[in-house]
Amino acid sequence: MKTNTLYAIYILWLRQLKRYFRSKSRILGSLGQPILFLVALGFGLNSVFAASGQGNYIQFLAPGIIAMSILFTAIFSGIEIIWDRQFGFLKEVLVAPVSRFTIMFGRTLGGATVASLQGLLTLIIATVIGFRPDLWLVLPAIVFMILIALVFTALGTAIASTLEDMQGFQLIMNFVVMPVFFLSGSLFPLNTAPAVLQWIAIFNPLFYGVDGMRAVLIGASHFSAWTDATVLVCISAVFLGIGSWLFSKIRA
């Protein structure tokens, strides 16, 4: 049974990667928005940011845009459950002699790997554009990318398990994904934001991912990298639990 479980996780993980690398247009398309943010905002607001005494805006912005890239890719990976349900693949998977937690975990692990690769590509592009991270600390930054990816792939899976079709997708984008991104401190420093926004950010998982990456890449953060990592590990465990419970009730 243990061998079947590991094999099922491997197959589901591999399928997510194959789906990602098979679609070159998807890879290029998902990089368009991060590049636009880095170039348009990074260079457009750099002088304003510097004039306010905050330093180089691209240095501040890049970790947030990397996190944004991971967020969108991870959520979409989770939402793909709806497509699998509509095309009949999910029904074939659910009859496999493994637990639904195994299926959910394999899918989540594959989606998180894809989202982490997307974040790594964004990091490379940001470096080309002008971002100058501490190269010795890129490896800890990748750890944060993986944690962010796990959190939001599990969240995407949990949300998709409650939806019958893609009609509710715009609702998710407008009321979940976009607020999570804009209230994470990705685009502006939260220490100068109104107190209510700072309190909201404390309950935003992406805030700890962005803060952790800034801690290791540019040495500027609200909390320590260890604190951010601990919070993300706890949140990912919670979301995996919620996602597996909701997925266990799904009907293909």
Question: pLDDT tens for residues 24-75?
Answer: 666 777 788 888 888 888 888 777 777 666 678 888 899 999 999 999 989 8
Stretch 167-187: mean pLDDT: 82
With respect to residue 143, please indicate whether it lies within any of the assigned structural domains: yes
With respect to residue 61, please indicate whether it lies within any of the assigned structural domains: yes
pLDDT at 130: 85
Residue type, 249: K
The two structure tokens encoding residue 204: 């935003």
With respect to residue 242, please indicate whether it lies within any of the assigned structural domains: yes
Q: Are 117 and 88 in contact (CB under 8 A)?
A: no
The two structure tokens encoding residue 90: 């999910």
Alpha-carbon distance of 213 to 140, in angstroms, equals 8
Number of H helices, E strands in the chain: 13, 0
Number of domains composing the chain? 1
Stretch 119-148: mean pLDDT: 90
With respect to residue 88, please indicate whether it lies within any of the assigned structural domains: yes
CA dihedral 97, 102, 107, 108 (to 10 degrees): 170
State pTM to two decimals: 0.90
Stretch 142-170: mean pLDDT: 85
* pLDDT tens-digit readout, 183-233: 998 888 887 778 888 898 899 999 999 999 999 998 888 888 999 999 999
Per the structure, the complete domain to which residue 85 belongs is given by 2-247
With respect to residue 252, please indicate whether it lies within any of the assigned structural domains: no
Nearest to 59 by CA among 130, 121, 145, 143: 130
